[in-house]
Amino acid sequence: MNCPSCSVVIVFLTTLAATSAADVPPQDRAAIDRIIGVKGIYAPDDGTYKIVLPRDAATIVPNHQKLSPNFGLNSWAAFSSGIHESAILAGEFVLLDDEVNPVISAALDAGLEVTGLAASAVFDGPCRHTLNVSGRGSFQTLAAAFRKGLDEIQHVRRSSASQRAKSTQASVRLDSAIDGRPLDSTLSMRGSTIGGVYKGAIGKRAMIHGELVGREMGMTTWVSFSGTNEHALVQGEFVEITDDLQTVLKAMRMKGLNIESIRNHTVGEHPQYLFVHFFAQGSAIELAKAVRYVLDVESGAIVLPGEKRGL
């Protein structure tokens, strides 16, 4: 049976597929190779130019043996022509513990969006993390931005072992004695202190499959302080809508909060929320000030340098 409307749909979908698989010009592929320093592979059917960078340090297992990089222990960057921008990038860094936060800072400073962070403990050996990034712009600016992340990895690896350990290792005291009163004042929260450990929380609201959920259902930004007021460890989670994520990540890194994971807790919620787990060490009051700064940036009470407040 003839169906004129079906023909129109087929033509539209065919046109859309051709548009989405637009060519990455040879001169841009050559520029990407030059900037990143590795030759990529072009997939013409997908209109994508991809560079894969095996991480030798991430393949080591006990007794100095190595796994095959085909297990997925690679950093990679894929480039495609865009519709609204000249080019789009999707990529992933495979990182060791001490590389995570420096590379997050480098990626954000270079104009990339950080969209996910997770630890991988599938294999024995060093703890590995995957950091997902994306970007829009020109092929050359995106390649240069990704290159800055790779350069930061090399910079960290050149640092001394003592410097790396100092910046990434968190210590937990079993005998905590946090005084929560000054933290309540700084955080503008009413927390609770149990066993010398302080915890405060701020609830948010979302719809999941049409049902309203809030603080006690897990939509909670929370912080917990252990140790003493002079030498404290803070950990917690910021719950962020996607529109606020990049700004909040920048504020966290600006104040020295170490980002440990960026992930979903729920599926089908509106608005979409991402949960950013973090930790840091120092005096409790200074850590509380750092957390409060991020909350103020999130709410719009403080605007990050170089950014404009939304209308």
Identify the CATH number of the domain in which residue 197 sits: 3.30.70
Q: Give 8: exposed, middle or buried? Use CB within 10 Å, 0-12, 13-18, 19+.
A: exposed
Q: Report d(CA 264, CA 130) in Å as an integer.
A: 15
In this structure, is the dihedral angle defined by the CA atoms of residues 207, 213, 217 and 222, taken in order, positive or negative? Answer: positive
Buried/exposed 95-105: b ≥16 CB within 10 Å, e otherwise:
bbbbbbbbbbb
In a domain? residue 173: no
Q: Is there a single domain that holds both residue 226 and residue 105? A: no
Instruction: Identify the pLDDT of residue 12.
Output: 47
**Mean of the pLDDT values across residues 157-186?**
74
Angle at 66 between CA 62 and CA 71, to 5 degrees: 115
- For the entire predicted model, the pTM comes to 0.84
Q: Report d(CA 46, CA 80) in Å as an integer.
A: 9
Total domains present in the chain: 2
Instruction: Identify the pLDDT of residue 309.
Output: 57
Q: Is there a single domain that holds both residue 100 and residue 190? A: no
Q: Is there a single domain that holds both residue 144 and residue 195? A: no
* Contact assessment for residue 192 and residue 198, using Cβ atoms and an 8 Å cutoff: yes
What confidence tens digit (pLDDT) does each residue in 65-84 have? 555 545 557 899 999 999 99
Domain boundary among 103, 138, 167: 167
Which domain covers residue 201, as residue numbers?
A: 181-299
In a domain? residue 291: yes
Domain boundary among 112, 135, 167: 167
Q: Is there a single domain that holds both residue 153 and residue 281? A: no
Instruction: Identify the pLDDT of residue 66.
Output: 52
Residue 4: pLDDT over 90: no
Structure tokens at 183: 């933290």
Residue 21: pLDDT over 60: no
What confidence tens digit (pLDDT) does each residue in 107-147 have? 999 999 999 999 875 555 567 899 999 999 999 999 999 99
Question: 132: closest CA among 51, 85, 75?
Answer: 75
Instruction: Identify the pLDDT of residue 73.
Output: 72
In a domain? residue 310: no
**Mean of the pLDDT values across residues 16-39?**
83
Q: Is there a single domain that holds both residue 149 and residue 194? A: no
